[in-house]
Amino acid sequence: MTTPSGRLLTLLSLLQSRRDWPGMALAERLEVTPRTVRRDVDRLRELGYPVQTTKGPAGGYRLAPGADLPPMLFDDEQAVAVSVALQTATSGISGIEEAALRALATIRQVMPARLRHRVDALQVTALRGGSQQQSVDGEVLLEVGRACRDHQRLRFDYTAKDGAQTRRDTEPHRLVSWGRRWYVVAWDLDRDAWRTFRLDRLTPKIPVGPRFTPRELTDEQVDALLSPFAENRTWPAQGSVILHAPARDVARWLGLDQGTVTALTADSCRVEIGSWSYGSLAAWLLLFEADFEVLGPPELTQAFEQIATRVARGVSTGASSLT
């Protein structure tokens, strides 16, 4: 390092990047002696960073949690990520808007000019989105999150989609943000099955229940439980097509509960979609101006044929009127 202050910042960054660092490894990374590392560690402690000494054949250091929050160090990529996260953190969670904006202002104030310009170019607007967006109380989010973390049974009053109210006794496993909603994935003890519950519809009962041994729950299971298409099977018309367009371009236009997009190649995807009629479903797919293959059902194929007939008739009629 060219300066002691620059070396100190690099040391702090290294300590934040992993749990334990052997003293000799830090010395090699910083290109200094172990004695210099010890002096720099002492300086960090004076600044309020709780750096612990670890025992072992070589000895080392660890950055431990402290009673106070000392200044933090972010590299360029981390600073941009934190900025974007803070701009979208208030989406769907009540009570943290002001704190998130103050945190963003604090981070931006200490950024170098070159990085501030990058962050200012990433102004994100988080829309609440009408009926699809339901605000979640911050305290409810924390209470359910604690129950998931500590593996404690959670009882709550729950309001179903049809307005029916029930008392549920569960083993909560995962908090999930899906689209513009928050869910908890839990094992329902009364129904002996996995269930998902929207946080804006539940009221936790305090105190929480006894601890439980977590059941196996894979990411694939969570994805299946929270799939928007699986959650809403009430569409009168449902179809499946292979669309020759990138999955990312299709997904951005798909409603939260309208269907799913699965990438097949870089330029094609399988779309499972629902709508109020097969005609409207076909019309939506035609918006992409991309080739497609209808996988089913026959009603969707018929809808495309009817649209093709109307288009041909309209073009023919228009041409005739011009002659």
Cα 197 to its chain centre, rounded Å, is 17
How many Å separate Cα 195 from the centre of its chain? 20
Domain ranges of the chain: 4-63, 76-126, 142-217, 231-313
Residue 235 is encoded by which pair of tokens? 């569409």
Residue 306 corresponds to which amino acid? Q
Q: Give the CATH fold of the 142-217 domain.
A: SH3 type barrels. (2.30.30)
Distance CA 270, CA 251 (A): 11
- pLDDT tens by residue, 245-295: 888 788 777 765 677 788 888 888 888 888 888 988 898 888 888 899 999
Q: Any idea what the Cα angle at residue 179 is, between residues 249 and 174, rounded to 5°? A: 130
Indicate the fold that domain 231-313 takes in CATH. Answer: Alpha-Beta Plaits (3.30.70)
For 229-248, the pLDDT digits (tens) are: 444 456 788 899 999 988 87
pTM of the model: 0.46
Residue 15 token pair: 């300590």
DSSP 205: -
What phi-psi label fits residue 136: left (phi over 0), alpha (psi between -120 and 50 degrees) or beta? Answer: beta
Tell me the pLDDT tens digit for each residue of 113-160: 777 776 666 555 444 444 444 567 777 877 888 898 889 999 999 998
- Please, where are the H alpha helices in 18-61? 23-30, 34-46
Residue 1 banded pLDDT, cuts 50, 70, 90: very low
| Number of C-beta neighbours around residue 219 at 10 A | 8
Class level of CATH domain 4-63: mainly alpha
Question: Phi/psi at 137 (nearest 5 deg)?
Answer: -65, 130
CA distance 222 to 172: 12
The 3-state secondary structure of 268-298 reads EEEEEEEECCHHHHHHHHHCCCCCEEEEECH
Find residue 262's DSSP bridge partners.
Answer: 270
Q: Give the C-alpha separation, 140 to 136, whole Å.
A: 7
**Percent of the chain predicted with pLDDT > 70:** 76
